[in-house]
Structure 1
């Protein structure tokens, strides 16, 4: 009797091991079948459209065929997040929600967790002549670019510029960035909630780095020395080679003297109008190309929480 008990346990152990091995083999077989199905679908898509689907994108058959492609980008987010999207460290929840990007082309539905890879794939589709509608971010950028173009063309006076941004003064930052781009500058608007005390990161035509502050004030408002000192202080951590302050108003004599001492460049309302007129004359009635509405890496990065950007992105 005593010898039969270990034998029973041994049989039971073999049974458990057999079940585990069988389950692992079934799981492996399912995974292999899924991979095979994905490869077959990628091959079919390539034969239909001549564009290779990245491995990071999963393919399914759409419920209904789409004559024109469409897509929506999804971005990662903290399960426990603050208002600015960064992780709420008061919570122990460190989970990340991976919202999927969705792309529809013809009879195919494609899903991916990497918005950068998804958007790059969409651009490849468009380059191959496959029509894909704008996503929400592209439509917003198109509206902003065209709005800035209209603002430049109607910027015949300081009051006209101020009126253009009376409803949303923060749009003035994008307006200034776009204006500088017309003169060969590279410009990036900083996120409103984490701007570090300045509005634009810039590189001049010769490659010199700048940070800039943009203020849309009434013509009777005067920018004083303290606001320039604030920009100078912000550069203690940014270490840009140059500083630029742009406003629709004017600078006090004290501010002008301070700018001369520290080498800060100033653009007041009158100068701003002249720059707008120069840009409008050089561009004429030409509309911006489609490439002007394409999303850059910086555009996409704005939708990713700031404390995730140094990780896989």
Structure 2
């Protein structure tokens, strides 16, 4: 997991964010803190990454805890990434307003972020969208 967190950190920086990797334990409910500027204003996003060896789907409790961190710390939003997906009740229980603040990505989103980073690093990709649009693209 430490390798995935470190790669995510580098990937987000390569996509135009300032990224801060949190400690692997006692991280306050987030793995990566992203900041960027849009419309002359700083925006902060949290990213939580779950890659459980058990192959278990992320459930409602983990989603609710992450959403509470986003709301309580009054940040712009969050992205919850899970290599093994989410239980149906984890997403279905959220209101439309909550879904605007918290987006979800599975294995395909993680792969897309990695590919975009590699293209940006090699100089063959220059984003035509803002970092936030890249962050939330292909999420649900």
What TM-score, normalized to structure 2? 0.69
Measure how far apart 1:282 and its partner are: 3.1
- Superposed CA deviations along residues 82-124 of structure 1, whole A, max 9, x for unmatched, are xxxxxxxxxxxxxxxxxxxxxxxxxxxxxxxxxxxxxxxxxxx
Q: Quote the offset at 1:258 in angstroms.
A: 3.9
Show CA shifts across 1:7-36 (max 9, x none).
xxxxxxxxxxxxxxxxxxxxxxxxxxxxxx
- 2:86 matched to 1:251? yes
2:103 paired with 1:265: yes
Q: Does residue 1:274 correspond to 2:98, yes or no?
A: no
* Superposition deviation, residue 279 in structure 1: 2.0
Distance 1:190 1:220, change over 3 A: closer
CA distance in 2, matches of 1:217, 1:234: 21
CA distance in 1 between partners of 2:81 and 2:117 (Å): 16
- Aligned partners of 1:192 and 1:219: how far apart in 2? 19
Contact map agreement 1:184 1:204 (CA 8 A) in 2: yes
The SS at the match of 2:47 is strand
**1:223 and 1:250 in contact (8 A); partners too:** yes
Distance 1:188 1:278 in 2: 19
Unpaired runs of 5+ in structure 1? 1-168, 287-313
Quick check: which one's helix share is greater? 1
> How many angstroms does 1:241 deviate by?
1.7
Q: Check conservation: 2:70, 2:77, Cα contact below 8 A.
A: no
Shift of 1:284: 2.9
Q: SS at the partner of 1:231?
A: helix
1:224 aligned residue: 59
Can you list the C-alpha shifts for 1:162-195, whole angstroms capped at 9, x where unaligned?
Answer: xxxxxxx133222212111121112111223431
Aligned equivalents of 1:193, 1:284: Cα separation in 2? 33
Q: Larger Cα Rg: Structure 1 or Structure 2?
A: 1
* Larger RCO, structure (CA 8 Å, separation 6 or more): 2
- Structure 2: how far apart are the matches of 1:267 and 1:259? 15
Structure 2: which 5+ runs fail to align? 125-140
Distance 1:272 1:174 in 2: 13
1:268 Cα shift? Answer: 0.9
Query: Contact conserved, 1:198 with 1:231, CA < 8 A, in 2?
Result: yes
> Partner of 2:6 in structure 1?
174
Question: Are 1:188 and 2:20 matched, yes or no?
Answer: yes
Given that 2:21 and 2:33 are in contact with CA atoms closer than 8 Å, whether structure 1 keeps it comes out as: yes
